[in-house]
Chains A and B, each alone.
Chain A
Amino acid sequence: MSHQPFEKWIFSEETLQPDQQHALESHLETCKDCQQLDSALKEFELEIHRQPSPMPAPGFTQRWQTRLARVRQQRQRQRLWIFTLSSFALASLIILTLFMLNHSQFNVFYAFGNLVANFSQLAGRIIKVWSLSRSLLRSVPILIPVLFTFGVGSLSATGVLIFTWFSSIIKLYQPVKEGV
């Protein structure tokens, strides 16, 4: 015996048309399987409403507040660890790079002298570039506003970056607000 569309009508929540309802009722009178499914579903739905609502153990809110405080502490500790480890990793990387650059004759004073020499060399080059740019600027006055804009732009970007870095460090080391 075909159980369709009767089985579909039993399990879907769509409202049936009067003729469909009548057809379903007639089918249920003759079909044991569909009758069993229909009454099983009805019993199940009835039983659900008979079941008492489960209640949480007393002190739920207090336990939640304790848990929240614990979660906050964990997150703050986690952030501090990440920051400390990343700072340590960065410092190690810088030291390692310096060491690799001078590994043949690594000496703190020598490395420092070398660094100063490199910086002065760099400064000399910057001055050279600057004087070259100035001569270029003099020769091409139309470039002045463009170069000025770029200069101001990069300076502002650097400033913003430095400010963000410092403010994030300050924020990280601040104790978490415990609420109002």
Chain B
Amino acid sequence: MTEQETLWIEQARHGNDAAFGFLVEAFQKPIFSLCYRMLGNARDAGDAAQESFIRAYRYIKKYDPDRSFGTWLLSIASHYCIDRIRKRKLATVSMDALPAEIIPDQSAPNPEKEFRREEKEILIQKMLSDLKPIDRAAVVLRYWHDYSEIDIANSLDLTVSAVKSRLYRSRQSLAKAWISSENANSLKERRPYESPAF
């Protein structure tokens, strides 16, 4: 955290809205990124990120300055996204919500590569959406925000051993899902050349 950010936090704690605005500007990317990975689409992610900042603004006086502000914000956003997923009681990214077909962007320098990347991104989102909300939050914080198991435990109000077991289970299911998708892809690619006789 920079000195400037510390100053903004102090000012925001004393009711300075402009200072909180600067904090929103500074932390919007990690918060949006977390919400995007949790909820699976930019529209919901934008809304959730805004709501997380509203909650942070409301509870700024409860913020402990000894703790990292970014961690505190990510914790608020994680809890908000978990609640939101539970409320809608649906998988975050249902198959309907995902584009059925990706049309390669012909204007991109390498449309084929871009197509593959987008395909992988959709696959990752789909795999994340199949995890339980808390497991998903743990995976997102671990892989996208480089959080340690202790930080994840603090952010999600879990014990370290609970985080370890959730991450273990998630990795296992992600690896299995990855293998299935690879198998499905290889089948799809092989099928056009196969003879119906075999």
Contact = CB atoms under 8 A, between A and B. Distances in A.
B61 interface: no
Contacts of A68: 17, 54, 57
B46 A50 contact: no
Contact of A47 (B24, B57, B120): B120
Contacts, number: 100
Instruction: For chain B, give the interface size range.
Output: 35 or more
A51 B124 contact: yes
A180 interface: yes
A71 interface: yes
B28 A11 contact: no
Contacts of B28: 56, 60-61
A41 B175 contact: yes
B143 interface: yes
Contacts of B86: none
> B interface, by DSSP: helix, strand, loop or mixed?
helix
Contact of B29 (A43, A56, A64): A56
Interface of B: 15-18, 21, 24-25, 28-29, 32-33, 36-37, 42, 45-46, 49-50, 53-54, 57, 117, 120-121, 124, 127, 143-144, 149, 164, 167-168, 171-172, 174-176, 178-179, 182
Interface of A: 7-8, 10-13, 36-38, 40-41, 43-45, 47-48, 50-51, 53-57, 60-61, 63-65, 67-68, 71, 177-180
